Amino acid sequence: MKKIRYPFGTITINDTAKKLIGEALDSTRVSGGKLVREFEEKFAALVGTKEAVAVSSGTDADALAMAVLYDFGAQRGDEVIVPALSFVATGNAVLQAGFIPRFVDIRRETLNIDPAKIEAAITPKTRAIMPVHLMGKPAEMDEILAIARKHKLTVIEDAAEAQSARYKGKEIGAIGDMAAFSLYIAHIISTVEGGIVTTNNEDYAEILRSLRAHGRACKCKTCLLNTVSKYCTKRFKYDTDIRFVFERIGFSAKMNELEAAVGLGYLEIYPQIYKKRLENFNYLHEKFARFEPLLTTIHPSMHDTMAPYAFAVMVGSKARFSKDKLVAYLEKNEVDTRSLFQSMPTQCRGFEFLNYPKDAFPEAEWVSKNGFHIGIHQDIGKEHIDYFIYLLENFVKNEA
């Protein structure tokens, strides 16, 4: 079969996005304004929450969601429970928010945090649980929410890869107290970079708007100083300009108008993007079944709908070849792959200071050693998937 370039990610910038970008550039108002507000409103409507607060990255979305907890009694150095396996941004965000990550192992069948192991990680300093819906596979939210209610903990969904996923009929992003999405290039909805936090709690949303702008007291949904009137009755309610009153330790994490324009373009064509990606996932999932159990993947269950973000592959325990050898073969044949992440506490050097012993998270470590993923985005067609399956068949025939 002839070689085909199989790229991991893509971005779609449609005519609407280009028009809005041009208008924003012509106006010279390119910092966060009406386009960001419009994107927030439409994203919240899509997920089904009252509020959405746009920020500069998915990592910032995680960090700011956690930083909200300081307004409700949390202290720096308190703990947030996260799965051991995730993109490193999850663990980084906990530390950036001033908390300590308490890692819990995953289930390799789902790639998500193992609810049965959460309670053992809870201490008097625990303030939140942050499940990650890895590879678009929803975590077991009923069990996680029950544990959180029992211990009076906040649940923050890391939904970076899970836009459009559903759990027992509920939209991911509208189940926990807050949810953090990434809007990076490879994701189902993109603003190039960017992130967004969804919540049904209006107080949380107000604090998030403050946090993304250095913690300032100026945190209205619509800044009147950026409207035609340019007059705000709140501006001098303090002894100084409200824009220079800082109520909490904050971040510099605003989304700009150009990013929001790309996001609005995505929302316009989201149904087509979702349909194409879902078709790709289903087609590849069906074709891939022939390789089980030599090669394995994660599967939708009866009570969830996976987001068609990417396709995970794990080399089974009985295989006579390594993941590295398979990945090298695929890359040589122009299939773009990505690692299935690492066990942050035991395989990422930056977390060594937490002193977790080697092999403390065997499931996460196994997945890291044996897993990778490929794209199923809207610029991929059946010919790419057939080519990938052909390569797997050829490799397995020669190596098994």
Residue 228 has pLDDT above 60, yes or no: no
**Torsion sign across C-alpha atoms 75, 78, 80, 86:** positive
- The C-alpha atoms of residue 171 and residue 194 are separated, in whole angstroms, by 21
Band of residue 223 on the pLDDT scale cut at 50, 70, 90: low
Classify 349 as helix, strand or coil. Answer: helix
Strands 338-339 and 310-315: unpaired
Contact present, 242 and 235 (Cβ < 8 Å):
yes
pTM of the entire structure? 0.94
Residue 178 has pLDDT above 70, yes or no: yes
Band of residue 245 on the pLDDT scale cut at 50, 70, 90: confident
pLDDT tens digits for range 294-322: 999 999 999 999 999 999 999 999 999 99
Q: Where are the beta strands (DSSP E) in 31-73?
A: 51-55
Element of type H or E holding 115: none
Structure token digits, residue 82? 């996260």
Higher-pLDDT residue of 187, 29: 187
Band of residue 162 on the pLDDT scale cut at 50, 70, 90: very high
Domains of the chain as residue ranges with CATH = 15-263 (3.40.640.10), 270-399 (3.90.1150.10)
Contacts of 297 by beta carbon, 8 Å cutoff, 6+ apart = 285, 288, 311, 312, 313, 314
Contact present, 113 and 132 (Cβ < 8 Å):
yes
Q: Which of 323, 344, 338, 260 is nearest to 89 (CA)?
A: 344
What's the mean pLDDT when you consider all of the chain? 94
Contact present, 27 and 358 (Cβ < 8 Å):
no
Structure token digits, residue 76? 């720096």
Element of type H or E holding 342: strand 342-343
Contacts of 377 by beta carbon, 8 Å cutoff, 6+ apart = 9, 10, 186, 277, 280
- The C-alpha atoms of residue 157 and residue 257 are separated, in whole angstroms, by 26
Q: What pLDDT, on a 0 to 100 scale, did the predictor assign at position 275?
A: 98
Structure token digits, residue 154? 């906040």
Q: What pLDDT, on a 0 to 100 scale, did the predictor assign at position 167?
A: 98
The percentage of residues in the chain with a pLDDT greater than 70, rounded to a whole number, is 94
Tokens 């908390």 sit on residue? 99
